[in-house]
Amino acid sequence: MKCRYCQSTDSKVVDSRPTEDGTSIRRRRECISCGRRFTTYEKIEELPIMVIKKDGRRQPFDSEKILSGVRKACEKRPVPSAEMDKLVDSVEREVFNSLEQEVKSDTIGELVMARLKDLDEVAYVRFASVYREFKDINTFMAELKQLLNENE
């Protein structure tokens, strides 16, 4: 690790501790050459996962896009931000645990909908209406009927 002050590559770790969210390690280092201290963070390197869109395009997986869609679906609903974050983390974990380098956007959408259904049914219907591209009121009603039948 290069010292940010003198560019020396000799340093020693003075203190190590996990970050608050537990996803990385914070290390306090001291440069052997100049004696100044600096902080580094160590985290697991993840292989990039590509998302195959409906039109065949490929783009890198981005959990922020999922969070954006979930926030829109939960707008004006009594769903805490922490719950939305947990939902997105859960989807992200499942995608990465699949060990696939490519995942279809349909698969991600279904994962989100399954979790939204348990979290808030109105948010689920909102997300489904955009994701499944309901063309008319009959398709929308069919989805609502299916939801009602599952709750009985």
* pLDDT tens figures, 91-143: 999 998 888 899 999 999 999 999 998 999 889 888 888 777 666 677 767 77
Residue 5 lies in a domain: no
Question: Which domain, by its residues, includes 22?
Answer: 11-43
CA 106 → CA 18, 53, 56, 139, 151, distances in Å?
35, 8, 12, 18, 24
Total domains in the fold of the chain:
2
My answer on whether 38 and 54 are in the same domain is: no
CA 140 → CA 109, 125, 137, 145, distances in Å?
17, 9, 5, 9
* pLDDT tens figures, 38-73: 999 998 777 789 999 989 999 999 999 999 999 999
Residue 145 lies in a domain: yes
Beta strands in the chain (DSSP E): 11-18, 24-31, 37-43, 50-52, 58-60, 102-104
Residue 1 lies in a domain: no
